[in-house]
């Protein structure tokens, strides 16, 4: 179902039209999203870490080892946090023999469908807007023991990543005395237009994060 609220003019004189599109496949983004970035993490973190070992051994964290190989291995083991290791292991599992089509291949197919949904929306409208997160910020470490609950906070931003479109978050006021974000997304390669619109909206909203907590 689609809802159109017609052309509106706010107090700043900005003209806009509100429309709530029907995108039934958006609910698939969160369960299908992890295999794609985690597969990249599996390779990306490894190659970035190996490339940085030479400089890292001299300038950054370095574990002691009895030879060069053990030093590299221990530095990688001790230098990566639990979340990084978790993402690398999931990425390796998703790409392993017998699971590629079930996880990574399926996620790629869903990504194509999500991209088509956005393409249809952008045929009628310049931007898609949403909250940046489904709730306010949680306390540091509050969801560390429950990675799934932590990943659920990506629900509003994951569709844009899957579709490969530019998006930006701007401050939008307070809720429960905590700042909330307003996400603005545009078609592929519309970064300049998204930045211009975000700047105009930020000025129109007029929310000052620094003053809000003084």
- The reported pLDDT for the residue numbered 194 is 94
- Name the β-bridge partners of 212: none
- Confidence (pTM): 0.70
148 lies in the same domain as 209 = yes
Domain count, the chain: 2
- Looking at 89, 113, 137, the residue that finishes a domain is 113
Q: Where are the alpha helices (DSSP H) in the chain?
A: 29-32, 35-59, 68-79, 82-94, 106-122, 147-151, 158-163, 191-205, 209-212
Q: What is the pLDDT of residues 112-124, one digit of tens each?
A: 888 998 998 898 8
Q: What is the distance between the alpha carbons of residues 214 and 205, in angstroms, rounded to a whole number?
A: 19
Among 113, 136, 153, give the residue marking a domain's end. Answer: 113
Q: Which domain holds residue 97?
A: 26-113
Residues 136 and 190 in one domain: yes
Q: Is residue 11 part of a domain?
A: no
Cβ atoms of residues 145 and 19 within 8 Å: no
Examine residue 198 and state whether it is found in any structural domain, yes or no. yes
Which pLDDT tens digits describe the chain residue by residue (214 residues)?
333 334 444 454 555 555 555 555 666 655 555 556 665 555 555 555 555 554 455 667 778 888 888 887 888 788 878 877 887 777 777 777 677 777 777 878 888 888 998 998 898 888 999 899 988 888 888 888 888 788 888 888 888 988 899 999 999 888 888 888 989 999 999 999 999 999 988 888 888 766 666 5
pLDDT at 167: 97
Tell whether 130 and 206 lie within a shared domain: yes
Note the pLDDT of residue 187. 95
One domain, residues 59 and 86: yes
Q: Kindly state whether residues 34 and 71 are assigned to the same domain.
A: yes
* pLDDT tens-digit map of 128-144: 998 999 888 888 888 88
Where is the domain boundary, 113, 144, 170? Answer: 113
Do 84 and 141 fall into the same domain?
no
pLDDT confidence of residue 166: 97
> Residue 196's CB: how many other CB atoms inside 10 A?
12
């Amino acid at each position: 179902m689609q809802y159109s609220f017609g052309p509106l003019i706010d107090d700043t004189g900005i003209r806009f039209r509100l429309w709530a599109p029907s995108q039934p496949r958006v609910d698939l983004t969160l369960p299908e999203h992890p295999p794609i970035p985690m597969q990249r993490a599996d390779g990306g973190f490894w190659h970035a870490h190996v490339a940085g070992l030479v400089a890292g051994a001299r300038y950054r964290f370095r574990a002691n080892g009895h030879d060069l190989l053990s030093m590299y291995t221990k530095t990688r083991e001790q230098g990566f946090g639990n979340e990084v290791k978790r993402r690398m292991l999931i990425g390796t599992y998703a790409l392993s023999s017998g699971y590629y089509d079930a996880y990574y291949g399926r996620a790629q197919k869903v990504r194509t469908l999500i991209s088509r949904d956005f393409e249809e929306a952008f045929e009628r409208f310049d931007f898609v807007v949403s909250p940046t997160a489904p709730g306010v910020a949680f306390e540091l470490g509050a969801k560390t023991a429950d990675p799934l609950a932590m990943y659920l906070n990506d629900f509003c931003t994951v569709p844009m990543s899957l579709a490969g479109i530019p998006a930006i978050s701007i401050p939008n006021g307070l809720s429960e005395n905590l700042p909330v974000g307003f996400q603005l997304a545009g078609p592929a390669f519309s970064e300049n237009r998204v930045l211009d619109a975000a700047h105009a909206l930020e000025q129109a909203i007029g929310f000052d994060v620094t003053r809000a907590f003084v």
